[in-house]
Chain A
Amino acid sequence: MRRRSLGNAAAPLAAVIIIIVLMSIAMLVAGTSPLDGFSALIAGSLGGRSQIGETLVATSALLFPSLGIALAFRAGLFNIGAEGQLLVGALLAGAFGGSVTLPPFLAIIIMLALGAIGGGLWGAIAGWMKAKLRANEIISTLMLNFVAQYVTLWLVTQWLMGPAAIGAETAWLPNTYWLPTLIPHTRLSIGILIAIAIAVLLQFLFTRTVLGYELRAAGEAPEAARRNGINLPRLTWLSLTLSGAIAGIGGATIVAGELHRFNTQLSPGYGYVAIAVALVGDLDPLKVCVASFFFGILEAGGLAMQASAQVPKDTIHVIEGIIILVLAARRYVAQRSERVEAGSL
């Protein structure tokens, strides 16, 4: 018993150590000393105001979908569709902001709300499919990522293309609609504060509310939950909707905070990396904030590392993939050994 709880606490730390070891190996293979590689990584991510700004921009972009994923995972739903949810939320926000004239404050609020609605709708589709048709949410959320990718591309190229667009992107937002900058002379907007506020709200949801309690019970022991008056289908669509909405707000803050327009390429896979972030953060909203910052360092420092240490930036994504596998395997093993334990008694 003691050993398992210790294992839970140590897992995020172990994940970080594995990342560092794997990166060291990659650097050695590339012919660079890990010391040089890591100092390049740190300098590129934390070495100055603009570097820190970029790190926090990445942190913010990862934090929203990670929190959404943590919510769904806690409810026992493997939502791996944050990427699509983020994209749809961003599109609605961008399409609105680039075409409608309103008082700025109201416009910003509506853009964020549209982000939540778009992402929430995308999550709700998977939730409805699971609750009504018993469709496995892993498959449906993953597939909906591709649907989102091509639907947004189609919508933008057909109807929403901005006048000065270079790629597939909407019109620019008037600069009064931009989210205020948090650190002057960086791209960092107040979006990250919204993300942290959502993390605090989630923590409150889990620990203080009946809904959060039911959600965790459903995730931990669905049969016990069902037999104790918890409506599982309702929780399924509700948590996937909320999960998608959080990712969608993230998409809207990228549009309103950093890019100032919607571009179909706006996410380099934040929604996927966020799965690793959520797991490294132990699905705990406050730890997920720390994990997002760590991954933000990797995202932002990766380019600098590539330039000075000749380690391709993609290495980081390979390593993130390994982390997902390691953590997923750990959960699987824990579940199995529990079953064995129960069977032996």
Chain B
Amino acid sequence: MSTPALRLRGIRKAFPGVVAVDGVDLDLTAGEIHALVGENGAGKSTLAAIAFGELHPDAGSVESNGTVGLVHQHFELVGRLNVWQNVLLGREPRRGWRIDAAAARERVRALSKANELDIDPDALVEDLPIGAQQRVELLRELERDPSILLLDEPTAALAPAEIDGFFASVTQLARRGTAVLIVTHKLQEVIAYSARVSVMRRGRIVAAMPTAETSVDEIARAMVGGELPQIAQRAQTTPRPCLTVHALQAGSAESGVTGIDLEVRGGEIVGIAGVEGNGQTALADAIAGVLPYRGSVRFTPELSPKRERSRVETSVIPQDRHVEGLVLNFSIVENAVLGRQNRPGIRRGVLLDREKAREDAQAIVERFDVRAASLDVKVRTLSGGNQQKLLVGRALIDQPHFVLAYNPTRGIDVGAAALVQSRLIETRNAGTAVLLISFDLDEILALADRICVIYRGAIAGRFDRANVERAAIGRLMAGSQ
């Protein structure tokens, strides 16, 4: 093995209140794809920023053998400019005092051809699909010809087919001698494309091995530091659907839904798979009753003797916990009753029963493992995972007939996500109808009894758990048949 292209030794970086990176050694080898995985908050992005030179470590050394390029998790493109203008931004070829557009176009075309990144240099960036924008981002870094390339969650917004294309390009690049570091939490990709994998937990590298010698399970265990809970089997469903959606139209032409039919029975989880921006938000908001719609959304009370409530009780786990779900300046107790403030038992005449609110908050904190100094701390002070567990706990505590869960585990660590998922399963097993909308196909595959793929505001395909085929779902998510 040759000398490493990038060599990190004893890297330490602390932020107020937390040591993000705590004594990390890492070597990147030319021509090799190296995956860096870990839970949210494990320190991966901080380490990448240090390697790139964006952050200075408190201790340790960074030695790089060549130039370093970084592709960010969030795109940093100018939507109103076209592809070549973005790729060459600030380094445009000139003729006299003018930009030489022809030469620029040619340069970008040659570059995209050499790297097998299919892209039209004259396309306006804001018109491109997300996958193509990601290629523009990559192209821009390649144009600087880095010998080391850092990719921070590069596939977060991509459809499965786009992911394959993206990795084909990255593999090409590595083959020609670039050292690549991919920061990710998608373990399937790690297994499929990387040569080495390093696992971070709480600021340290806890495992490092050749990918060929490990498995998804082993990596996942290293990430969470323990066994992942198993997902339970499907329960009995009710004969009649609890939620019936018919010919639903809502939202704008670009991001709305155009005629969706859907049924969810008590005791099942129906998963809506799809790439972000294909109408999921409009679907969720229409069902939640906060967006006007055409068509019908009907909740049917269940007739089984076990549940005699005639009113259908529903609850929502919204996508954005900060804006849509929680009142950050309220305490845990106050947040535990939000949306439930008019339910009998909590409302007494004009009064809010504070004892009951506190009992419920205590129950949520215990059952959903919300870690907080006390029930009276502001929710703002909790970590994202604990906020989410509180939000999910509130939605499930009354054992409603129907639950809408929109990306219930997005942006939280693996341990919290596993807890949320197993509580959703338990709720299903107790007879609740669950509609799960998620951008994470793995989550849908793990939880859903039936799967609907949403593409451009319509259901592109339906699968039963028995006949589910990952590749077919992936193709439908990307818009091909």
Contacts and interface: CB of A to CB of B under 8 A. Distances in A.
Contacts of B102: none
Given A221-B327, A224-B327, A228-B339, A211 B318 contact: no
A140 B381 CA distance: 37
B342 interface: yes
B297 to A, nearest CB: 16
B327 A227 contact: no
Contacts of B337: 213
A1 B18 CA distance: 14
A227 B350 contact: no
B327 A208 contact: no
Interface in B303-356: 316, 318, 322-330, 334, 337-339, 341-342, 347, 350-352, 354
A342 B316 CA distance: 22
A1 B351 contact: no
B330 A220 contact: yes
Highest count of chain B CB atoms <10 Å: which of A1, A5, A216, A224: A224
A223 interface: yes
Interface in A203-242: 208-214, 216-217, 220-221, 223-229
A229 B381 contact: no
Contacts of A223: 323-324
A227 B325 CA distance: 8
Contact of B327 (A1, A5, A220, A345): A220
Contacts of B288: 227
Nearest to B384: A345
A248 B209 CA distance: 75
Nearest to A341: B380
Given A210-B351, A213-B334, A227-B316, A221 B323 contact: yes
B313 to A, nearest CB: 12
B188 to A, nearest CB: 26
Interface string B367-390: 000000000001011001000000
A123 B327 CA distance: 27
Contacts of A226: 290
A209 B337 CA distance: 13
Contacts of B380: 1
A224 B323 contact: yes
Contact of A224 (B338, B350, B381): B338
B107 to A, nearest CB: 34
B341 A210 contact: yes
Contacts of B324: 223-224, 227
B328 A221 contact: yes
Contacts of A345: 384
A228 B338 contact: yes
Size bracket of the B interface = 20 to 34
Interface residues of A, number: 22
A213 B350 contact: no
Given A217-B327, A227-B316, A209 B352 contact: yes
Contact of A208 (B290, B323, B354, B381): B354
A209 B350 contact: yes
Given A1-B381, A224-B325, A229-B339, A217 B330 contact: yes
A229 B354 contact: no
Highest count of chain A CB atoms <10 Å: which of B325, B341, B384: B341
Contact of B326 (A211, A224, A229, A342): A224
A224 B378 CA distance: 16
B329 A220 contact: yes
A208 B341 contact: no
A217 B342 CA distance: 14
B49 to A, nearest CB: 12
Given A208-B351, A224-B326, A227-B316, A217 B290 contact: no
B350 A211 contact: yes
Nearest to B41: A345
A206 to B, nearest CB: 11
Contact of B352 (A208, A224, A227): A208
Interface string A7-45: 000000000000000000000000000000000000000
Contacts of B316: 227
A209 B351 CA distance: 4
B75 to A, nearest CB: 15
A85 to B, nearest CB: 24
A8 B326 CA distance: 21
B352 A210 contact: yes
B289 to A, nearest CB: 9
Contacts of A212: 352
A208 B346 CA distance: 11
A205 to B, nearest CB: 9
A168 to B, nearest CB: 42
B347 A221 contact: no
B434 to A, nearest CB: 18
B347 A210 contact: yes
A1 B17 CA distance: 11
Contacts of A221: 323, 326-329
Contacts of A227: 288, 290, 316, 318, 324-325, 339
A229 B329 contact: no
Contacts of B338: 217, 224-225, 228
B351 A229 contact: no
Interface string B280-292: 0000000010100
A247 B119 CA distance: 65
B413 to A, nearest CB: 13
Highest count of chain A CB atoms <10 Å: which of B290, B324, B326, B338: B338
Highest count of chain B CB atoms <10 Å: which of A5, A211, A221, A226: A221
Contacts of A216: 330
A225 B323 CA distance: 9
Given A221-B327, A221-B328, A213 B352 contact: yes
Interface of A: 1, 5, 208-214, 216-217, 220-221, 223-229, 342, 345
What 8 pairs between A and B have smallest CB-CB spacing?
A228-B339, A221-B327, A220-B327, A1-B381, A228-B338, A210-B352, A220-B329, A209-B350
9 contacts: A1-B378, A209-B350, A209-B351, A212-B352, A213-B337, A220-B328, A227-B324, A229-B342, A342-B322
Interface of B: 288, 290, 316, 318, 322-330, 334, 337-339, 341-342, 347, 350-352, 354, 378, 380-381, 384
